[in-house]
Amino acid sequence: MVSKGPVTTFLCLLLGAFTRGASTQQAFTVEPNNITVLEGAVAILQCVVDNPSGVVQWVKDGLLLGPDTNIPSFPRYSMTGDPSKGEHHLRIVDSRLADDGDYECQAGRSKESPGIVSHTALLSVLVPPKTPVFKEYEANSTVTWVAGVEYMVTCSAGDAKPAAEISFSKGGSPLPDVSHQVHSGSSEKLSSTIAMLRVTPQSLDNGKRLVCAATNEAVSAAVVAGFTMNILFPPQPPTIEGYKRPEIKAGETLKLICISLSGNPLATLQWLKNGNVVSTSWETEDASGASRSLLTLSIKPEDNGAQLRCEAMNQVSPLPLVASVTLRVVFLPTEVSILGSSSTPENKQISLSCSTTPSNPPVQLRWWLGWRELTTTEVTVTKAAHGGTVTVSNLTHMARREENGLPLTCEAFNEVVLFTRSTSLPLSVKYPPQKVWIEAPHPDSRFRAGTKVRLTCFASGGNPAPRLVWIKDTKSLKEGTQVASGKIVSKELILTTSPSDNLAIYRCNASNDGKSPALTAQTRLRIQYAPSIRSLGDPVYVDLGATAELVCVANANPILAGMFQWTWLGAEERSLEELELEPEASGAVGRLRIRGARQAQAGLYECRVDNGLPPPARGSARLIVRFKPEIEKGMGLGKVAMPGDGSSPAILLCRAQGVPSVQFSWAKNGAALHPDNPRYTERTWHEGTWHSSTLTIANVSAMHDYATFTCRASNALGTDKLDIQLLSTSPPDPPTGLKVVSVTHNSATLEWIPGFDGGLPQRFLIRYRWPGAPSALYMDVFPAQTSAFTLTGLSPATPYSIGVSAHNTLGESAQGPSVTVTTAELPLEELPVVEPEAPKTEAPSLPPALIGGLSALGALLLLSNAALLVCLLRRRQAWAGVREETKER
């Protein structure tokens, strides 16, 4: 390390003075000068030594860098130039702030010359400022401000040398009113600058960009950051277009457009009618900067004087901006009506009132009878709602018979608006009818039910035309159509006679005003009719073992003894004697008595009534025998098996028979199931006397669901229950009830009752063995799950021990009970047949050798037949012995 400074310089000069001699001394012809470079640029400090004889090297801030031209300790440093010319320039690439400092060039002493040191040169590295940063906002964002409100913006630019200068601009125009700038050292040689700006945006600033720029000597162009200003400001007051005329007629359609310009955001618009909001829809056009709202009104009379107001505002509006119009509506009376009755007895005074609905402007009224104007009127005009008026005219008039039927008209008119409207009704002057009579068959006539009889009623005179009413006994009839012919009216009644017409009295009343007595004529009918059933109780309920009766009440003329007959309508043909039922009859009532009611007696019964006049009447009634529930129980119905891994549901079925309808409930291990538990789903349905319920258990879990579930079936007469075990899948239970249905000489047909299948499809296996067999044989039952099978291939008259077992994918059941069966004997027609010996015939002469061979062959055949016969006889004796032995066992 060589120290720089006055002492070093002095010693070097003194040494040089002492060492000057005849030899040439080394000296600087070029010494380094102060230089300034930008960060990242190449810096060159020049040094040229004349007559160099010592080692030349550079010193940085007092640190020798070494004589090697590559300067290993500083990879970016190197000495360049032509050493033969004494050039030893220091070259620094990618200049950094760490390179900033004092540099000297030194030539060490030699035999010929003392060492020399150049004057100190300052290398200054300039660092550009970093991109400015806003304290309050994010760069390149959109900042929402309200027009007229002052905001503070703080911008900082750090790590610069020299310290950066900060300026602001808005929309490209500089802002001179920077509050103040603060410079501070961010490190040993770098500085940071903070500047603050107070800004009060206006509506014209909307969309402009506020930019912070930082610059120093290290940059030719400022480093900038900025954000876009979204300036909120109120819209302009709205205007209303579309209402130009001073008045508008009711019934017309009015279209008004409200327009509000400018504003950020654009205005929201709403329409109010008399202070009530009627529309909140609007549309905006960003291109033109306008909001528009269309209001369409169908003008009604009540809109007269209504104020329509359009309000415009946005989120920075202090109060809504308003435009309004007031409607003036012209409306005519929608209705002219006459109050009071225009019907009156002759020579009586009528009073009528004619009025209009409200109108603007008012209308006038006048009365007409036919073509004659009536003047005995009194007119009043009163104010009505919505600025309208109501006109009322009261009329009094003495009615005469000759005015009957003339139109009575009230006319409303207004000459200013060229309007007329009228209403009329006919004047009805009442007077009573004069005569009434009936055309009918002779009173002694007799009719069978179903015969058509024509009755005609006539009446003459009267106004209004008399109203003819047919009355049967005391009941008015609506049948028939009244016909008018001149001053005579008639009403025809065509009867298809029925039993109810027997001895009935038919009357015809003629009246027209309800005040004068009705004129009346009458006749009488006599009817014979086939029977009908007037009532038959259906259904009839009886408790099991109790007494009940079915009652059939007939309507017939004549009534005969023995005309009732009862029949059972069940699926099977059964007589009343078999059902132990007792029919009886008394007059028009037939009864079927049931004593000690049984379920077998329940069903549909027919009552047939025949009095000789066809057709006979038929009716049916159902006898319902009530009994307490009886749950279907049996092998396999008390168990359900499912895997307990939570992957499958289980369905538990409970079927019961009972009357009345059976209700079901379920319990788990004796505790009732909660109705809101989502894991359990109950479903119930009914088919006649049978009732069914299923309990579905979702995602069966061995831990939670393997339990005993109890199904309880109840009705008003009692309760029955069934326990169903939900358990894991397992090998099946053994079959039960094995029996032999039929046997032949080589087959046996078997039936059995399947046991519980363990929750999986099960198959059955037949095991059979006969005496002396080395082992049992097995036969798979096909189809797989059938419970009956015919075992074939058996030997005749042989005893067999037969058993059946079940198996599924988890294993085989225990061996079920076995049975012993002996097959039948072989039928005689299937025994071997021995042919009798054929009669001898004269044979042609043959060679002796051939005759000897044929003789031997014949003898052999006879011996074989005899042996076969002996074997068959012995075998039959053996079969008989085995059969006897089996019987003894």
In DSSP notation, 790-802 reads EEESPPTT-EEEE
Q: Which pLDDT band holds residue 706 (cuts at 50, 70, 90)?
A: very high
Percent of the chain with pLDDT over 90: 40
Whether the upstream peptide bond of residue 52 has omega within 30° of 0, thus cis, is no
Cβ atoms of residues 117 and 208 within 8 Å = no
d(CA 149, CA 436): 102
How, if at all, do strands 407-414 and 419-426 pair?
Answer: antiparallel
d(CA 588, CA 372): 72
CA dihedral sign of residues 860, 863, 867, 869: positive
- Beta strand spans in 546-588 (E): 548-557, 564-568, 582-586
Q: Could you tell me what percentage of the chain is helix, strand and coil, using 3-state DSSP and rounding each to the nearest 5? A: 10, 50, 40
Residue 487 has pLDDT above 90, yes or no: no
Decide if 200 contacts 148 (C-beta within 8 A): yes
DSSP annotation of 600 reads G
CA atoms within 13 A on the CB side of 86: 17
Residue 830 has pLDDT above 70, yes or no: no
Who's near 55: CB < 8 A, 6+ residues apart? 67, 107, 108
Cα–Cα distance, 119 to 109 (Å, whole number): 17
pLDDT tens digits for range 304-314: 889 999 999 99
Predicted confidence (pLDDT) per residue in 572-613, tens digit:
788 888 888 888 888 889 888 888 888 888 888 999 999 888
- The answer to whether the peptide bond before residue 362 is cis (omega within 30 degrees of 0) is no
Within the chain, how many helices (H) and strands (E) appear? 4, 73
Give the separation between CA 599 and CA 630, rounded to whole angstroms.
Answer: 13
Strands (DSSP E) found in 34-177 = 35-38, 43-45, 48-50, 56-60, 63-64, 77-80, 89-92, 101-107, 116-117, 121-126, 133-134, 142-146, 151-160, 165-170, 173-175
Q: Which residue has the tokens 């209705």?
A: 335
Average pLDDT rounded to a whole number, residues 341-352: 86
What is the 8-class DSSP label of residue 360? Answer: B
For 367-382, what is each residue's pLDDT tens digit? 999 888 888 888 888 8
Whether residue 841 has pLDDT greater than 60: no
Report the percent of the chain where pLDDT is more than 70.
Answer: 89
Beta bridge partners of 233: 264
3-state secondary structure of 371: coil
Q: Which of 63-67, 68-72, 516-520 has the lowest mean pLDDT?
A: 516-520
Q: What is the pLDDT of residue 179?
A: 55
Residue by residue, DSSP assigns 429-478 as EEB---EEEEE---TT-EEETT-EEEEEEEEE--BSPPEEEEEETTEEE-
pLDDT of 218 = 85
Q: Terminal CA-to-CA distance of the chain, rounded, Å?
A: 133
Torsion angle (degrees, nearest 10) of CA 580, 584, 589, 593: -30
Q: Does residue 880 carry a pLDDT above 50?
A: no
| Residues paired with residue 536 on neighbouring β-strands, in sequence order | 552
Residue 14 reports pLDDT greater than 70: no
Is 93 within 8 Å of 157 (Cβ atoms)? no
How many angstroms separate the CA atoms of 738 and 764, rounded?
12
Between residues 627 and 246, the one the model is more confident about: 627
**Neighbouring residues of 612: CB distance < 8 A, sequence distance ≥ 6:** 558, 560
The three-state secondary structure class of 248 is strand
Question: If you average pLDDT over residues 717-741, what whole number do you get?
Answer: 92
Pick from 243-252, 642-651, 826-835: least confident = 826-835
How many Å apart are CA 780 and CA 789, to the nearest integer? 10
Contact yes or no for 311/321 (Cβ under 8 A)? yes
pLDDT of residue 562: 86
Listed residue (590, 591, 606, 503) closest to 555, CA to CA: 590
pLDDT at 186: 56
Q: What distance in Å separates the CA atoms of residue 119 and residue 32, rounded to the nearest whole number?
A: 7
Q: How far apart are CA 511 and CA 775, in angstroms?
A: 111
Alpha carbon of 24 to those of 15, 50, 111, 114, 293: distances in Å? 15, 9, 11, 11, 103
Give the span between the Cα atoms of 689 and 623, in whole angstroms: 13
* Dist CA 860 CA 868 (whole Å): 12
What's residue 816's pLDDT? 82
In the structure, what pLDDT confidence band is assigned to residue 187 with cuts at 50, 70 and 90? low
DSSP of 68-84: -TT-TT-TTEEEES-GG
Q: How far apart are CA 171 and CA 554, in angstroms?
A: 109
For 270, 288, 855, the CA distances from 283, given in Å and listed in that order, are: 11, 12, 131
Judge whether residue 854 has pLDDT over 60: no
pLDDT of residue 185: 61
State the pLDDT at residue 238. Answer: 95
Nearest to 160 by CA among 101, 219, 102, 211: 219
The 10s digit of each residue's pLDDT in 230-264 is 999 999 999 999 988 778 888 889 999 999 999 99
Render pLDDT for 549-574 as a digit per residue (tens, 0 to 9): 889 998 887 888 888 988 888 777 88
- Tell me the C-alpha distance between 181 and 521, whole Å: 125
- Name the nearest CA neighbour of 210 among 288, 132, 272: 132
∠168-169-174 over CA atoms, to 5°?
100
Q: How far apart are CA 691 and CA 663, in angstroms?
A: 8
Q: How confident is the model at residue 833 (pLDDT cuts 50, 70, 90)?
A: low
* Three-class DSSP labels, 187-217: CCCCEEEEEEEEECCCHHHCCCEEEEEEECC
CA dist., res. 49 & res. 39, Å (int): 29
Phi, psi dihedrals of residue 18, rounded to the nearest 5°: -70, -30
Residue 800 has pLDDT above 90, yes or no: yes
755 HSE (CA, 13 A, CB side): 22
Is residue 517 over pLDDT 80?
A: no
Q: What is the mean pLDDT of residues 831-841?
A: 51
Sorting pLDDT into bands at 50, 70 and 90, what band is 635? confident
Q: Quick one: tokens of 126?
A: 């300039």
Identify the CA nearest to 653 among candidates 706, 703, 726: 726
3-class DSSP state of 770? coil
In the block, tokens 């047919």 appear at 470
Q: Binning pLDDT at 50, 70 and 90, where does residue 857 land?
A: low
pLDDT band at 835 (very low <50, low <70, confident <90, very high): low
- What does the alpha-carbon distance between residue 492 and residue 681 come to, in Å, rounded to a whole number? 66
What's phi and psi for 192, nearest 5 deg?
-120, 150
User: What would the DSSP string read from start to end of 679-748?
Assistant: TEEEEEEEETTEEEEEEEESS-BHHHH-EEEEEEEEETTEEEEEEEEEE---SPPPPEEEEEEEE-SSEE
Amino acid at 166: I
Return the structure tokens found at 848.
Answer: 């002796």
Q: Which two tokens stand for residue 326?
A: 């007031």
DSSP-derived 3-state class of residue 184: strand
Q: Phi first, then psi: what are they for 632, rounded to 5°?
A: -70, 125
Per-residue pLDDT, 777: 92
Which DSSP symbol is given to 230?
Answer: E
pLDDT of residue 412 exceeding 60, the answer is yes
**Alpha-carbon gap, residue 532 to 525, rounded angstroms:** 20
Question: Taking a C-beta distance cutoff of 8 angstroms, is the pair 679, 632 a contact?
Answer: no
104/611: higher pLDDT = 104
How sure is the predictor about 746, in pLDDT bands with cuts at 50, 70 and 90? very high
Predicted pLDDT at 559: 83
* More reliable by pLDDT, 514 or 579: 579
- In this predicted structure, the answer to whether residue 884 has a pLDDT above a threshold of 60 is no
The pLDDT tens digits for 437-478 are: 888 888 777 777 778 888 888 888 777 788 888 888 888 888
Q: What is the pLDDT of residue 362?
A: 86
pLDDT (0 to 100) of residue 855: 54
Q: Are 88 and 49 in contact (CB under 8 A)?
A: yes
For 423, phi and psi rounded to 5 degrees? -145, 150
Peptide bond into 318 cis (omega under 30): no
Query: Is the model's pLDDT at 41 over the cut of 60?
Result: yes
pLDDT(658) > 60: yes
C-alpha distances in Å from residue 701, one per residue of 413, 642, 647, 733, 855: 89, 9, 8, 23, 89
Flag the least confident range among 54-58, 342-346, 774-778. Answer: 342-346
